[in-house]
Amino acid sequence: MQFLIYPAAVALVLGVLVFVHEFGHYAVAKLFRVRIEVFSLGFGKRLVGFQRGNTDYRISLLPIGGYVKMAGENPMEDRTGDPGEFMSHPRWQRFLIAIAGPVMNILLAIVILTGLYMFHHDYPAYSRMPVDVIWISPGSSAEKVGLQKGDRVVQIQDVQDPTWEQFLQTELISPDQTLDVAILRDGQTLHKTLVAKATGPDGVGDVGLDPPEAVGLIEPGKPAEHAGIKSGDILISINGTLVKNLGDMRDELQKIKNNPAPLVVRRDGKDITLTVTPRLLSGGGVPEEYRIGVGSEYIERLPFSRALSEAYLDCKENSLLIFKLVGRMLHNRKMLQQVSGPIGIMKISGEAAMIGWPPLLKIMALISLNLAVFNLFPIPILDGGLMLMLLIEAIMRRDIKQEIKERVYQAAFVFLILFAAVVIYNDLAKSFHM
């Protein structure tokens, strides 16, 4: 099943995203009467299609993405003066044609998330909570600098009063880097320096503070509701066994069976002991087992205006995170491990597809955003590189010399080939744990 789902998922994700990107270029080019020679769904050999006007609309052999070929779009070719050629149009029109692709990918990400959030908006219960220290990994940087249970992280780098989501994002993109944090302990603010040790095949940073398992969804009529558990409660222990995640609780519940057991939760900073009696429950794709009816996520349906607002904010935050990643990548080679290529995208898309449509749509929106931001980088061959050259020419009020353009494009081509090779090597290394 995975053998079929993984390639199908990546074909769907990349196919839609690249097609939407190229359609943006196509639509604006047609608006400005640039002659389109080819509009292709897929790459490689032409399979079927039709000719309309000067354009060959085709379906090609490789069903991943597509491309648009405009007349005279190669800036290194000599101009013929044909008014339908790309280079014959004023710079502002060429600029809008170039930026249309990334803009379409950004809009697509917002549209996907807005539609998804109107039917299924989920997020971990702990993600928007303050960073209260509960679990500290032995031997970690957090333990070595003296962080204690009960501390609250009130600053990390330039982020004031971070949520767990902000804290985790900051440490993940800082492998083997020092992080300045401020903690609140007994009414006093202490300053510490943590080292986010690179861990795992992706080389993500980890200071040794694990988020708590907080209660989100409570199933009505189930043991958790009868026991008085509330959304936002933090699970500490059950029947004397520490609960760092729902997996720990699930294992302990199978031992307790249908016997009453003490459950310790943290609510408003205080530990409360409740009594819960597990029951044999099934449904929702979960086999029959002893459960109490809690989930670690909030799941809701949002009205259109709020769904659009949440989608916009998520896209904005993820875009800023991508720029931070790239900025740090210039100073820290280990950051390259966090970059995924086609193999990594197939793995991520396939895993999401195995879970269901909501995770797959989220991944599609995130990759669409990544594709937009990547294409905006000022690297010749990419849309951002073309836009930069057009801006330079507009300031100079003359074209850049052809010889200079050729050298710049050649250097950019070599750079992108080397970058692609490194990314593919990373994908393979992570896949085989090299």
Question: How many C-beta neighbours within 10 Å does residue 297 have?
Answer: 15
Task: State the pLDDT at residue 151.
Answer: 94
Residues 256 and 196 grouped into a single domain: no
Residues 6 or more apart in contact with residue 322 via CB below 8 angstroms: 369, 370, 373
With residue 346 as reference, give the H or E element that holds it.
helix 342-355
> 176 and 271 share a domain?
no
Report the pLDDT value the prediction gives residue 115, as an integer from 0 to 100: 96
Write down the pTM of the prediction.
Answer: 0.85
Q: Does residue 27 fall inside a structural domain?
A: yes
| pLDDT (mean) for 315-334 | 79
What Å distances lie between residue 181 and 131, 196, 324, CA to CA? 11, 12, 18
Beta-carbon-side half-sphere exposure of residue 51 (alpha carbons within 13 Å): 3
Nearest to 349 by CA among 15, 5, 3, 82: 5
SS3 362: helix
Number of domains comprising the chain: 3
How far is residue 198's CA from residue 173's CA, in Å, rounded to a whole number?
A: 10
Instruction: Answer yes or no: is 102 within a domain.
Output: yes
Please indicate, yes or no, if residue 36 is contained in any of the structural domains: yes
**Torsion, Cα of 242, 191, 163, 310 (10° steps):** -160
Q: How high is the mean pLDDT of the chain?
A: 88
Q: Is the pLDDT of residue 338 over 80?
A: no
List, as one string, the DSSP characters of 238-298.
ETTEE-SSHHHHHHHHHHHTTS-EEEEEEETTEEEEEEE--EEEEETTEEEEEE--B-SEE
Domain membership of residue 331 (yes or no) is no
In a domain, 248, yes or no: yes
Torsion of CA 109, 110, 115, 118, to 10 degrees: 130
DSSP state of 333: G
Closest of 125, 128, 123 to residue 165, by C-alpha: 128
- pLDDT value of residue 424: 76
Residues 284 and 361 in one domain: no
Question: Does position 278 have pLDDT exceeding 80, yes or no?
Answer: yes
Q: Do residue 8 and residue 108 come from a single domain?
A: yes
Residue 297 lies in a domain: no
Label residue 397 left, alpha or beta by phi (over 0 means left) and psi (-120 to 50 means alpha).
left
Which of 271, 288, 305 represents a domain boundary (last residue)? Answer: 288
| pLDDT score for 374 | 87
- Residue 84 counted as domain residue: yes
The encoded tokens of residue 45 equal: 């050999």
* Residue 381: per-residue pLDDT: 81
How far is the C-alpha of 69 from the C-alpha of 22, rounded, in Å? 10
Residue 256 has pLDDT above 50, yes or no: yes
Half-sphere exposure of 423 (CA within 13 A, CB side): 14
| Digit-coded pLDDT (tens) for 15-66 | 888 889 999 999 999 999 999 999 988 878 899 999 998 899 998 887 666 7
What CATH number is attached to the domain comprising 170?
A: 2.30.42.10
Closest CA to 412 of 400, 424, 422, 404: 404
Residue 40, classed as helix, strand or coil, is strand
Mean per-residue pLDDT, 180-192 = 94
Q: Same structural domain for residues 8 and 80?
A: yes
> Are 97 and 7 contained in the same domain?
yes
Give one word for 356, left, alpha or beta, with left for phi > 0 and alpha for psi -120 to 50: left
Full residue range of the structural domain in which residue 390 is found: 2-119+357-432
Instruction: Please provide the DSSP assignment of 373-398 as one string.
Output: HHHHSS-TTSHHHHHHHHHHHHHHTS
150-164, 172-186, 280-294: which range is least confident on average?
280-294
Mean pLDDT of 352-370: 89
Residue 406 within any structural domain of the chain: yes
Q: How many residues does the chain have?
A: 434
For residue 98, the one-letter residue type is: A
Cα distance between residue 237 and residue 247, in whole Å: 12
